Structure 1
Amino acid sequence: MQHPTIIKPHENIAHAPLEQNGLNSCKTIYLQSTPEELVELALKEGEGVLTDAHALMCDTGTFTGRSPKDKFIVRDELTEDLVHWGEINNPITPSNVAKIYHKMQDYLNGKTVYTRYAYAGADEQFRQPIMATTTQAWQGLFCHHMFIRTEEDELADFSPQWTILCIPEFQAEAKTDGTRQGNFTIIDFSNKKILIGGSGYAGEIKKAIFTVMNFILPVDYQILPMHCSANIGNSLNGQPSTALFFGLSGTGKTTLSADPSRELIGDDEHGWSAEGIFNFEGGCYAKVVNLTMEQEPEIFAAIREQSILENTRFFPDTNKVDFSNISVTENTRTAYPIHFISNACHPSVGPVPDHIFFLTADAFGVLPPLSKLTTEQAMYYFQTGYTAKLAGTEMGINQPVATFSACFGEAFLPLHPKTYTQMLGERLEQSGAQVWLLNTGWISGPYGIGNRIPLAYTRALLHAVLDNSLEHVQFDKHPVFDVMVPQHCPNVPDTILNPEYSWLDPEEYERKAWILKEKFDVNALRFAPER
């Protein structure tokens, strides 16, 4: 049998994992290629074009976001009683996965692939060695950016615990392979494999590994995995102080953690161990719709040579990106290594957090811009995972829609949400960390009547917490949600701190607040004990 041609930057790189994972039939394997090489290969293969900032702009094809209904977990002896099966975690049989895997290996016969050795987890005690193989150079570059990069002296005897095989061009046969349709993401915890096919959306790669970490860290290490960003700065006593930012898409998780006055630990995925916080990733994957230098200078500056842009478009007759153009999707994104953020800390670890922020873009306009939570309330709002999305306007309907995603990332939780909620409560009790609810949505009325709270006010509220400016401020209990609301905050008008006072009609405010509270209570019934 003819062996593949392996193109690599130097001789001292382990080959055994390639053979062990069925890549012998490939024509060419680009192993551990540099970012410069991967950009050149992507351009040569017509996978993308360069922008005026020399970033690589690519399209992801039919799928411009994740396809949650097409993510599967192998149901076997290991996962049968541990995984929370249902709408989020779809089962697939080991025999069907074996069938798909062999078809994917056959598909690679005579093909070119791009393989990378890397890690998930910045804490060396808990990191997971990964081998990621893709059929597209730009996705190989994505893996370079998003995973934690290996040191040269680690490559000679590198032994991956997890392998990823991503073939966007490969389609499953739903009727015989046990999938819903042609595209799929399959996680096999027993064999430690991730199979992705039929989708060119690179976010499937990163979120599959996040799902893996959400299983193995609680089960094997009693570590709390979290869908959050994190940064670190100095407290008043000069000691490093970590802050966490939980939130669903569009709530400001990436924006608020990219603070020039603090060092970035990571923008999306972290673990909380007994020693502190650690990032799972080696890069950032930020939304860029309507991105400007003025609003988000750190992210804007990170889009440069070797960075990736997904599904963006140029201004006519230029190679300058029009970040307001959503003709392909609103989910336009950029991927870059974390050191492209000038104030990123290395390694991506920090001490146990002092402050935790739950971000919500409340389009009903009834939640306070900032409120303090008890541990019990923190567990409730964590398990609730609330934000509000705007309904489609095709028929003139502009009413907000309440959205709940347990632990601010239900789509990535293999275990029951109660598991993660209980772990959070235990860590809050042990650490004494203070949890805050930060509304980055609407004030002075709901969407269509009120206005979105200015980012400058949100940042002022955030900084007031972090520099202890609220330590001697009086807090009042909110009449509907029972959270504690500050009466004053530097650089923020008092009139907007309690939303009841900023509405023209206080009675209408109270009515809308109780409507949202009822939605919270109905959602909480999902987690009520079974009778």
Structure 2
Amino acid sequence: MRKASVPTPVSQLLESSSFINLSAPELIECALRNQEGILANNGALAVTTGKYTGRSPEDRFFVKDEWTSETIDWSRNQHINESVFLSLLKKMTQYLNHLHEKYVFRGFAGADARYRLSIQVVNEYAWQNLFCSQLFIKPTKQELMHHQPEFTILSAPGFKANPSFDGTRSEAFIIISLHHRIVLIGGTAYAGEIKKSVFTILNFLLPQKGVMPMHCSANVDQNRRTALFFGLSGTGKTTLSHAHGRQLIGDDEHGWSEDGVFNFEGGCYAKTIRLTRKDEPQIYNSIGFGAILENVAISNETRVPDYIDARTTENTRAAYSLAYVANARIPSIGTHPDTIIFLTADACGVLPPISLLTPEQAIYHFLSGYTSKLSGTERGIIKPEATFSTCFGAPFMPLSALTYAKLLNKRIKQENVNVFLINTGWIGGPYGVGSRINLAYTRAMVTAALNDRFDRSTQFTDPIFGLHLPLSCPDVPGNILLPWQSWHDRAAYECAARQLAKHFQNNFRQFKDAPTEWINAGPLI
């Protein structure tokens, strides 16, 4: 794609920008002076995002033009006219130009310099600029002097669209123009929209370079063996990748090239609801001065964060630099993985806690991307809802799903990778009847998978899903490994399992052009 010139309104805006690449202390001082947040007792900046406490996927669009009409998968992505984009661009730059202060971050997405993307983000709020400096990769002084942004993101929560005049669905909008190389984010203060917009751009660009972009976390052991954890928000990517005895490469977004794995980001964006030092010490101890607490309740008297309080949202978050993580691997690059774990939070309580997948089953479940949307992650979600999100990240994958599946299939076969499906959701019954699986058991299963502790000669084949189930796992009760054994009513389990299997089959019909061996790797009924 030919690089478009930066539109004149943006050039004028950047010329008048007040602050560029301020340090964390400087941005915190600005945020406190502007009354954007308060300091918690652990030193983190605590902020609230108002009406929007999660992503707003219905307000997210690509500009449809000659550059994207034949490349974007429009069955999964919304489009908007270029005239709407240009009109909002002009209005937003005028809005930002009238602000007394605005903040610019210039840096990179991608730890591997061969594939990194140069970005700049213009923020209305100092705290959101701090978010960018924590989540993206900071340039050196020399790199900053010669920084040439390939994409510009404008974020102005105070600028709200008028749907009647502006052509949007609501006051909030996230519009990506791949031709103009600009992202507009208005009407919402949820910082995750900035992060995921950059991720989406990389998911469009990198496959053209033979790099597999992935919605996954990654870590590495002392023998440099890398593991990947795929999954949607709330399935445990961040929690399980922050593991004792392993170095964290990254918690959410990575690329897999011919040479290995690399992080897209320079920080983590962890869910904090019910966070405790005991259960998740790596995350808990990473939240300090320079970190951001988003929508976390803070005591007025003591300024102590209350990670239990979910009155504002279940989707409370902490944003912090990898430099704050005691076991982080910097630079955040790893070898080819030898283990991949797909994480699903099954609200039906049907899928087993752990399954071993064949290469064909791995691609089937990657394309299916079955999980449950957990409360608060998106607007309007108040209890777990079963869903299929292809590639474990459909909202961020602009190309055909088969493009990503073919890349992953190639990598798995080249490197002879072991693939597991782990259910971090419910056992013993569906949501409201069963219970969410104990985190300690999940950690034990992950450890066994990473250390190849499963005896493949004593596996049981699930008669409905065709999954290969281990009959034992160190430190895990044997009665939960076969999921029907934890249900009080075996007939009720089989009814729920067959219903879920049919949902899998119905969903997979969209991939009628997939290879036969992938299609046949699904449920057996």
Q: Fold match, TM over 0.5? A: yes
Name 1:12's counterpart in structure 2: none
Name 2:66's counterpart in structure 1: 77
Per-residue deviation, 1:78: 1.4
8 Å CA contact retained: 2:37, 2:45 = yes
8 Å CA contact retained: 1:473, 1:488 = no
> Which deviates the most, 401-410 or 382-391?
382-391
> Which deviates the most, 98-107 or 471-480?
471-480
Instruction: Summarize the Cα distance change of 1:273–1:512 in structure 2 as closer, same or farther, 3 Å threshold.
Output: same
CA distance in 2, matches of 1:400, 1:337: 30
Instruction: Summarize the Cα distance change of 1:139–1:390 in structure 2 as closer, same or farther, 3 Å threshold.
Output: closer
Selected match of 2:230 from 246, 260, 263: 246
Instruction: Summarize the Cα distance change of 1:337–1:482 in structure 2 as closer, same or farther, 3 Å threshold.
Output: same
CA distance in 2, matches of 1:52, 1:428: 46
1:62 equivalent to 2:61? Answer no
Deviations 1:143-190 (A, max 9, x none): 100111101111222111111111111122323332222221111111
Name 2:363's counterpart in structure 1: 379
1:150 equivalent to 2:139? Answer yes
Name 1:445's counterpart in structure 2: 429
1:322 equivalent to 2:274? Answer no
Per-residue deviation, 1:376: 1.0
Question: What does 1:334-483 align with in structure 2 at a 5 Å threshold?
Answer: 334-388=318-372, 401-471=385-455, 474-483=458-467
Per-residue deviation, 1:47: 0.3
Name 2:217's counterpart in structure 1: 229
Instruction: Summarize the Cα distance change of 1:149–1:18 in structure 2 as closer, same or farther, 3 Å threshold.
Output: farther
Structure 2 counterpart of 1:95, which letter? S
Instruction: Summarize the Cα distance change of 1:508–1:278 in structure 2 as closer, same or farther, 3 Å threshold.
Output: same
Name 1:187's counterpart in structure 2: 176
CA distance in 1, matches of 2:375, 2:328: 36
Selected match of 1:109 from 97, 107, 115: 97
Per-residue deviation, 1:212: 0.2
Deviations 1:432-481 (A, max 9, x none): 11110001122233333333221111111111111222256621211111
Deviations 1:171-216 (A, max 9, x none): 2232333222222111111121111111111111000001101101
1:29 equivalent to 2:12? Answer no
Selected match of 2:118 from 119, 122, 129: 129
CA distance in 2, matches of 1:142, 1:211: 18
Name 2:79's counterpart in structure 1: 91
Instruction: Summarize the Cα distance change of 1:401–1:63 in structure 2 as closer, same or farther, 3 Å threshold.
Output: closer
CA distance in 1, matches of 2:36, 2:184: 21
Instruction: Summarize the Cα distance change of 1:472–1:175 in structure 2 as closer, same or farther, 3 Å threshold.
Output: closer
Structure 2 counterpart of 1:76, which letter? D
Name 2:191's counterpart in structure 1: 202
Per the alignment, in what secondary structure is the counterpart of residue 40 of structure 1? Answer: helix
Instruction: Summarize the Cα distance change of 1:447–1:165 in structure 2 as closer, same or farther, 3 Å threshold.
Output: closer
CA distance in 2, matches of 1:110, 1:451: 52
Deviations 1:47-70 (A, max 9, x none): 000111111001112211111111
The count of residues paired between Structure 1 and Structure 2 equals 504
8 Å CA contact retained: 1:172, 1:179 = yes
Structure 2 counterpart of 1:96, which letter? V
Per the alignment, in what secondary structure is the counterpart of residue 150 of structure 1? Answer: coil
Q: Which runs of 5+ in 2 are unaligned?
A: 1-5, 377-381, 515-525
> Which deviates the most, 207-216 or 521-530?
521-530
Structure 2 counterpart of 1:100, which letter? L
Name 2:522's counterpart in structure 1: none
Name 2:249's counterpart in structure 1: 265
CA distance in 1, matches of 2:84, 2:298: 43
CA distance in 2, matches of 1:156, 1:264: 30
CA distance in 1, matches of 2:384, 2:498: 15
> Which deviates the most, 418-427 or 132-141?
418-427
Structure 2 counterpart of 1:418, which letter? L
Selected match of 1:213 from 199, 202, 210: 202
Per the alignment, in what secondary structure is the counterpart of residue 149 of structure 1? Answer: coil
Per-residue deviation, 1:529: 4.3
8 Å CA contact retained: 1:173, 1:179 = yes
Instruction: Summarize the Cα distance change of 1:140–1:390 in structure 2 as closer, same or farther, 3 Å threshold.
Output: closer
1:306 equivalent to 2:251? Answer no
> Which deviates the most, 471-480 or 301-310?
471-480
Deviations 1:315-354 (A, max 9, x none): 4633111111112111111101012110000111111111
Instruction: Summarize the Cα distance change of 1:25–1:390 in structure 2 as closer, same or farther, 3 Å threshold.
Output: closer
Structure 1 counterpart of 2:348, which letter? F
Per-residue deviation, 1:89: 1.6
CA distance in 1, matches of 2:502, 2:256: 32
> Which deviates the most, 40-49 or 150-159?
150-159
Per-residue deviation, 1:505: 2.9
Question: What does 1:8-47 align with in structure 2 at a 5 Å threshold?
Answer: 21-24=10-13, 29-47=18-36
Q: Percent identity?
A: 47
CA distance in 2, matches of 1:96, 1:63: 23
RMSD: 2.2
Name 1:486's counterpart in structure 2: 470
Per-residue deviation, 1:390: 7.2
Selected match of 1:177 from 130, 149, 166: 166
TM-score by length of 1: 0.91
Name 1:524's counterpart in structure 2: 508
Per the alignment, in what secondary structure is the counterpart of residue 361 of structure 2? Answer: helix
Per-residue deviation, 1:20: 8.7
8 Å CA contact retained: 1:26, 1:110 = no
8 Å CA contact retained: 2:234, 2:374 = no
Per-residue deviation, 1:503: 2.6
> Which deviates the most, 241-250 or 142-151?
241-250
CA distance in 2, matches of 1:51, 1:399: 29
Name 2:39's counterpart in structure 1: 50
Name 1:7's counterpart in structure 2: none
Q: Which runs of 5+ in 1 are unaligned?
A: 1-16, 393-397
Instruction: Summarize the Cα distance change of 1:61–1:180 in structure 2 as closer, same or farther, 3 Å threshold.
Output: same
